[in-house]
């Protein structure tokens, strides 16, 4: 711990790790290796004395894997390594940035991984713990997964050796090689307006997970990315493309007006995005994913995003009181670098920032990002259609047989085209699907129905509005008329 800037196997040490639950639930005790994790400084003015660490489960220390159901929402119960994340930025002990100390929440990075999972993709699971280091209370930590080759094989199949894993830049190889990654970049730097070139790139990049990853980072205003702070991995044996993973996303959820949509970092995911904007099929797919994630019941709507964040906030409240007791006075009373300082507490600082996010970030960020995406050519000016059932807005869900679905055009012009058998009314190249119908009359719902609709105006399409309507089982309730002529009313 005293040599926190030194890393690698030469600085790995043996340790004993235990997880103890206060309610008596069985935890684990295991011998393992331990290393310092992340970028730190060991000069007299440490950026943070509360360092992150990584547990490594190896035969030389004990079992080669930790076998334990650590994350209730994960199918993986076997781990080669786990990160004990202290959080380096946006914390009460940040040395020189008062703004970071005031913004301390200890939630941002894990929230980003949670959101990536909620959007339907793979990311690092985590849970919060109190850490005791050699018996001394050391504060609140997030014990989470690391998206390395073990992580990939555990979730996606195959063996560790099948995977290429890259982090931070094209040359930082965690596992395998960067040959596939550099080949992907070479293809992307060609003419991606060409369908053939775009299809070739899709052999190296999982497009839908990539788009959702980009949308998430744009929405969060991640301004310490993508020149670093990302992982990417692929199975080179089965021909899968690279998937990107949220990592060290601490510089997020700061300024509600933050705009990172035009970032273009050499060799990173932002460079890929800027080059992919040449391709019309990519742009319409990007718009479709924005429509899915930022509208209706999407993960990045104000309601959807806040519910994820609030769940994590509830998890560490009131545990954050102990973080305050351990570290809240550190800069003021013990290591005063980069003042002014305060005694940082839950009730004043943590709750104030939580309320700021609830009241001024989450309600408005989605609309602001939509405008940024439109200005960058990543979302069309035509709004997608909306659905009503029996005169009330309803985007999918339960309906009664015989109810009437209406598709609304929120634009002043354009024609709605729709299908009810699962096809996209737009075909590749921008034409209208044979069999897609212009909407002209209500649709009577007589069975489970997937409706897909777009607005077509001139040569432009809106994003795809897609909703599944499922019939309620059993007969529809009927209204009962009561004869109240003989009822008496009493005061």
- pLDDT recorded at residue 5: 72
The pLDDT of residue 42? 44
Q: What is the pLDDT of residue 490?
A: 57
Domain-by-domain residue ranges, the chain? 9-144, 386-471
31-45, 232-246, 287-301, 329-343, range with the lowest pLDDT: 31-45
At 94-119, the pLDDT tens digits run: 988 899 999 999 999 999 999 999 99
CA distance readout (Å), 439 to 9, 362, 381, 455, 471: 64, 35, 20, 10, 22
Average the pLDDT over 117-129 and give the result.
99
Per-residue confidence (pLDDT) for residue 485, from 0 to 100: 62
pLDDT beyond 60 at 416: yes
In the numeric block, which tokens belong to residue 280?
């019309």
Model confidence at 200: pLDDT above 70: yes
Report the pLDDT averaged over residues 386-400.
Answer: 98
Q: Is there a contact between 197 and 191 (Cβ–Cβ < 8 Å)?
A: yes
Render pLDDT for 268-285 as a digit per residue (tens, 0 to 9).
999 999 999 999 999 999
Tally of CB atoms within 10 A around 115: 26
pLDDT score for 340: 80
Is residue 475 over pLDDT 90? no
**Residue 405 pLDDT level (bands cut at 50, 70, 90):** very high
- The alpha carbon dihedral of 261, 264, 265, 271 has a sign of positive
The pLDDT value given to residue 296: 98
Average pLDDT of span 110-132: 99
Average pLDDT over residues 229-235: 99
Distance CA 491, CA 489 (A): 7
Q: Which residues of 260-297 are buried (b: 16+ CB within 10 A; e: fewer)?
A: bbebebebbbbbbbbbbbbbebbbbbbbbbbbbbbbbe
What's the confidence (pLDDT) of residue 474? 76
Whether 136 contacts 147, CB under 8 Å: no
Pairing state of beta strands 397-399 and 465-471? parallel
Give the end-to-end CA distance of the chain in Å, rounded to a whole number.
Answer: 76
* Predicted pLDDT of residue 96: 85
Q: What is the pTM of this model?
A: 0.95
Separation of alpha carbons 294 and 383, rounded Å: 13
Structure token digits, residue 404: 């009437």
Peptide bond into 318 cis (omega under 30): yes
What average pLDDT score do residues 213-234 get? 99
On the question of pLDDT at 491 being above 70, the answer is no
- Domain 386-471: state its class: mainly beta
- Cβ neighbourhood burial of 105 (10 Å; 0-12, 13-18, 19+): buried
Q: Is the pLDDT of residue 483 over 80?
A: no
Question: Quick count: other Cβ atoms within 10 Å of Cβ 69?
Answer: 11
**pLDDT band with cut points at 50, 70 and 90 for residue 243:** very high
Q: Is there a contact between 407 and 451 (Cβ–Cβ < 8 Å)?
A: yes
pLDDT at residue 2, rounded to an integer? 77
Length of the chain measured in residues: 491
If DSSP states are collapsed to H, E and C, what string results for 120-160?
Answer: CCCCCCEEEEEEEECCEEEEEEEEECCCCHHHHHHHHCCCH
Quick check: 481 pLDDT over 60? no
pLDDT tens track for 24-77:
999 999 999 999 998 654 444 567 889 999 999 999 999 999 999 999 999 999
- Write phi, then psi, for 88 (nearest 5 degrees): -100, -40
Which pLDDT score is estimated for 489? 56
Instruction: Judge whether residue 6 has pLDDT over 80.
Output: no
Cα distances from 292 to residues 66, 208, 212, 288, 463, in angstroms, run 37, 12, 10, 6, 9
pLDDT of residue 20: 98
**Residue 47: what pLDDT?**
75
Peptide bond into 331 cis (omega under 30): no
**pLDDT at position 137 over 80:** yes
């Amino acid at each position: 711990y005293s040599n926190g800037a030194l890393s690698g196997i030469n600085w790995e040490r043996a340790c004993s790790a235990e997880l103890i639950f206060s309610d008596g639930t069985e935890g684990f005790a295991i011998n393992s290796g331990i290393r310092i994790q992340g970028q730190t400084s060991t000069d007299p003015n440490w950026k943070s004395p509360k360092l992150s660490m990584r547990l490594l489960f190896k035969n030389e220390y004990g079992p080669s894997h930790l076998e334990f159901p650590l994350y209730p929402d994960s199918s993986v119960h076997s781990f080669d390594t786990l990160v004990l994340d202290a959080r380096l930025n946006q914390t009460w002990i940040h040395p020189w940035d008062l703004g970071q100390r005031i913004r301390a929440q200890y939630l941002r990075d894990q929230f980003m991984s949670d959101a990536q999972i909620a959007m339907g993709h793979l990311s690092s699971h985590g849970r919060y713990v109190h850490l005791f280091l050699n018996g001394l209370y050391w504060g609140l930590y997030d014990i989470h997964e690391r998206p390395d080759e073990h992580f990939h094989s555990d979730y996606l199949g195959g063996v560790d050796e099948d995977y290429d894993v890259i982090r931070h830049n094209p040359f930082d190889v965690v596992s395998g090689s960067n040959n596939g990654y550099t080949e992907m970049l070479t293809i992307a730097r060609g003419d991606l307006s060409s369908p053939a070139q775009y299809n070739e790139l899709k052999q190296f990049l999982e497009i839908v997970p990539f788009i959702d990853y980009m949308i998430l980072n744009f929405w969060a205003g991640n301004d310490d990315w993508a020149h670093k702070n990302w992982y990417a991995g692929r199975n080179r044996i089965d021909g899968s493309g690279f998937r990107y993973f949220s990592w060290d996303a601490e510089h997020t959820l700061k300024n509600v007006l933050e705009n990172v949509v035009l970032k273009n970092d050499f060799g990173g995911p932002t460079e890929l995005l800027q080059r992919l904007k040449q391709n019309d099929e990519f742009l319409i797919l990007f718009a479709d994913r924005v429509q899915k994630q930022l509208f209706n019941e999407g993960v990045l709507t104000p309601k959807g995003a806040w519910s994820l964040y609030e769940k994590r906030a509830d998890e560490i409240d009131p545990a954050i009181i102990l973080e305050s007791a351990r570290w809240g006075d550190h800069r003021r009373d013990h290591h005063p670098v980069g003042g002014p300082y305060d005694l940082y507490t839950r009730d004043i600082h943590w709750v104030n920032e939580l309320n700021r996010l609830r009241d001024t970030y989450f309600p408005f960020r989605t609309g602001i990002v939509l405008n940024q995406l439109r200005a960058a050519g990543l979302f069309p000016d035509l709004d997608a259609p909306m659905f009503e059932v029996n005169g009330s807005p309803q985007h999918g869900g339960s309906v009664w047989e015989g109810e009437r679905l209406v598709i609304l055009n929120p634009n002043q012009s354009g024609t709605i085209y729709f299908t009810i058998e699962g096809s996209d009314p737009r075909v590749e190249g921008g034409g209208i699907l044979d069999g897609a119908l212009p909407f002209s009359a209500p649709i009577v719902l007589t069975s489970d129905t997937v409706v897909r609709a777009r607005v077509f105006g001139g040569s432009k399409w809106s994003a795809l509005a897609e909703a599944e309507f499922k019939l309620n089982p059993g007969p529809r309730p009927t209204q009962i008329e009561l004869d109240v002529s003989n009822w008496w009313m009493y005061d």
